[in-house]
Amino acid sequence: MMSDDLMDKLKRFQLKADSDLDARVYDRIERLEQGSRARPVWFCIRWGKWAAVLVVGVLLLWPHAPRSVAWSQVAERFEAVPYVRASLNLYNEQASYYQHMDVWLGGHGRLRVQTHSQVIYAEQGKILKAVSLHDGVTVVPDKAAYEVIQGLGAWQIFSLETVIHAVLQEPLKDVTPSDDLDRSVWKDLMVFDSRSSVGSGRIRIYALRDSRLPVSFRIWDTDDGLSVEAAFLYENELADSFFKP
């Protein structure tokens, strides 16, 4: 039988939890006490203590335990969406440079990029037209937007690695789960780290745990001083005319 002293200690043990959790813990303890009466004393003393402690630990940690999701699952989930908008902020402290652009990726390689001053239409990696936001006059495509379009190239199904590659102008390397997460983000987010396979850039990708959809990525510590903050927005798909000049 579980000793009265152990029972008293366990019942006085306080968890920072709600009353429902306390009730479940005490219920497990009572069951252990009832089951222990048919077993040898040495078995109850040795295993009864640890079983009670394990019950406490499992109930406390279970809601926060991360569910393992591989990078390949996130990449596949992103490829399955028919339409996405990427909102990009590009910085370069060395050159005192900042630029914001929105990139809409539609089906069949359709693309629309908007900077602070112009809209660029492209399809299968080829620019169809660039016009001024102010008066609709044809203009020379913005250099940074042009590089993103060239980096995306021709595609039927856009991929997460292709989008990041188009911004970084270098492929990813060794995408792995981040090892410095705070426990508070386990429940909702997955975070993956990667590096540029050419330069010194670091990449971090954030994805929702339940939907497995990426929601943002960051690029920093690049050789040329570039840093990027990006967010993915999964809006309702726009009409075909949105992608036509």
Q: How far apart are CA 121 and CA 112, in angstroms?
A: 5
> Comparing 48 with 98, which gets the higher pLDDT?
98
Cβ atoms of 60 and 53 closer than 8 Å = no
Report, as an integer, the average pLDDT of 234-239: 89
What confidence category does residue 90 fall into, taking pLDDT thresholds of 50, 70 and 90?
A: very high
Q: Is 105 a residue whose pLDDT tops 60?
A: yes
- In this prediction, residues 169-195 reach a mean pLDDT of 77
| Residue closest to 109 by CA, chosen among 99, 96, 123 | 123
- How large is the average pLDDT for residues 159-173? 84
pLDDT of residue 224: 83
- The residue ranking higher by pLDDT, 169 or 166, is 166
Report the pLDDT value the prediction gives residue 24, as an integer from 0 to 100. 52
Q: Which of 26-35, 44-53, 109-118, 166-175 has the highest mean predicted lDDT (pLDDT)?
A: 109-118
If you average pLDDT over residues 22-45, what whole number do you get? 46
Predicted confidence at residue 170, as pLDDT, reads: 76
Cβ-Cβ contacts under 8 Å for 208 (sequence gap 6 or more): 188, 189, 190, 215
Query: Residue 99's pLDDT is what?
Result: 94
Whole-number Å distance between alpha carbons of 224 and 234:
31
- Bridge partner residues of 213 (DSSP): none
- C-alpha dihedral over 114, 116, 118, 119, to 10 degrees? 10
- Closest listed residue to residue 243, CA positions, set 140, 123, 126: 123
CB within 8 Å of 75: residues ≥ 6 apart: 159, 160, 161
The pLDDT confidence band at residue 13, using thresholds 50, 70 and 90, is very low
**What is the three-state SS of the chain?**
CCCHHHHHHHHHCCCCCCHHHHHHHHHHHHHHHHHHCCCCHHHHHHHHHHHHHHHHHHHHHHHHCCCCCCHHHHHHHHHHCCCEEEEEEEEECCCCEEEEEEEEECHHHEEEEECCCEEEEEECCEEEEEEECCCCCECCCCHHHHHHHHHHCCCCCCCHHHHHHHHHCCCEEEEEECCCCCHHHCCCEEEEEEEECCCCCEEEEEEECCCCCEEEEEEECCCCCEEEEEEEECCCCCCHHHHCC
pTM of the predicted model as reported, rounded to 2 decimal places: 0.68
Give the model's pLDDT for residue 115: 96
Structural tokens at position 174: 């060794």
pLDDT value at residue 178: 82
Residue 49 near residue 18, CB atoms below 8 Å: no
Residue 16: pLDDT band with limits 50, 70, 90: very low
pLDDT grade for 101, boundaries at 50, 70 and 90: very high
Q: Is the pLDDT of residue 117 over 70?
A: yes
Average pLDDT, the chain: 76
